[in-house]
Amino acid sequence: MSEIKQDELNSKTEINSNNSTNYNHDKVVIGNEVFVPMLKEEVLQERIRELGKQISNDYKNKVPVFIGVLNGAFLFLSDLIKNVNIDCEIDFFKLSSYGDEKISSGKVKLLKELNCDVNGRDILIVEDIVDSGLSIKFIEELILPHNPASMKVVSLLVKPNSLRYNVKIDYIGFDIPSKFVIGYGLDYAQKYRNLRSIYVLNE
Ligand code: IMP
Ligand code: MG
Task: Give the model confidence (pLDDT) of 170-194 as tens digits.
Answer: 999 999 999 999 999 999 988 999 9
Q: Note the pLDDT tens digit of each residue in 16-59.
A: 444 566 666 788 888 889 999 999 999 999 999 999 999 999 99
Give the count of beta carbons closer than 10 Å to the beta carbon of residue 35.
22
| Tens-place pLDDT, residues 96-120 | 765 566 666 677 888 877 777 899 9
Q: Residue 88: what are its φ and ψ, rounded to 5°?
A: -155, 165
Tell me if 180 CB under 6 Å of ligand 1.
Answer: yes
State yes or no: is 128 an active-site residue: no
Task: Give the distance (Å) from ligand 2 centre to CA of residue 30.
Answer: 21
Q: Which atom of ligand 1 is nearest to the CA of 69?
A: 10
Cα 185 to ligand 2 centroid, rounded to whole Å: 9
Q: Which domains does the chain have, with CATH numbers?
A: 65-175 (3.40.50.2020)
Global pTM? 0.87
Give the side-chain half-sphere CA count within 13 A for 144.
8
Are the CB atoms for 187 and 16 separated by under 8 Å? no
Active-site position among 131, 170, 175, 187: 131
| E strands, the chain, in order | 28-30, 33-39, 65-70, 89-96, 109-112, 122-130, 150-158, 171-175, 181-182, 198-201
- Residues ≥6 apart with Cβ < 8 Å to 167: 130, 133, 136, 137, 140, 153
